[in-house]
Amino acid sequence: MKERKFVTKYSVYYAWESDQEERDLDRASRSGLQLVHGGCFHSRFRRDAGAVYRYRIDYRRGIPDMMDYRAAFEAQGWEYVNSTFNGWHYFRKLYDPALPESEYEIYTDRQSYAEMQKRWSRLITVLGPSAWRSACSTSGSAFTTRCSTCSSVSWTY
């Protein structure tokens, strides 16, 4: 049977788990699944064992000029993958084992990384303390996904 060229995976990450999602995408890339469209609930991958990428996710809303934003990343060898409606942006770079890991960081100091986290955590505050409490206290039964966090909606299961 012929293997399908595209694969869809369903996964949900908390807003504060973008590091974990990056590691998962890198692992998928090593195993021959290359992200072609990242999303809040499902992501699309292309089968290609011929390349290994490093994936990085940025969070930023209200970008005045998307082409300028993309150009800032492309200048450093990043390929733009896609953006979600709520401000998460996926980039990838071909992995070269000869280069240091620092080549694959998009945030290179603590302050700017903290600012990025502050940008989405402000939106958790917008949800209000009760949503926050329920998201924290009943882990597993109620959660704030990267998606809901950023669009100010929370799900209860």
Partner 1 sequence: MQNEPLTESYYYILLCLYRGPNHGYGIMQDTEVLSHGHVRIGSGTMYGATSNMIQKGWIREVASNDPADRRKRLYALTGAGRSALEDEIGRLHRLIEGADKVMDGGTAP
Distance CA 131, CA 125 (A): 9
Residue 122 in the binding site for partner 1 (CB under 8 A): no
- Structure tokens belonging to residue 44: 């699309």
Q: Are 47 and 3 in contact (CB under 8 A)?
A: yes
Among 3, 10, 67, 97, binds partner 1 (CB under 8 A): 67
Distance CA 75, CA 156 (A): 42
Q: Contact letters (x/-) for partner 1, 85-104, by CB under 8 A?
A: ------x----------x--
Helix (H, G, I), strand (E, B) or coil at 156: strand
- Residue number, 1 or 67, with CB nearest to partner 1: 67
CB of 126 to partner 1, least distance (A): 21
| Helices marked H in 31-109 | 66-74
**Which chain residues interact with partner 1 by CB under 8 A?**
56, 58, 60, 67-69, 71-73, 75-76, 78, 91, 102, 105-109, 111-113, 115-116
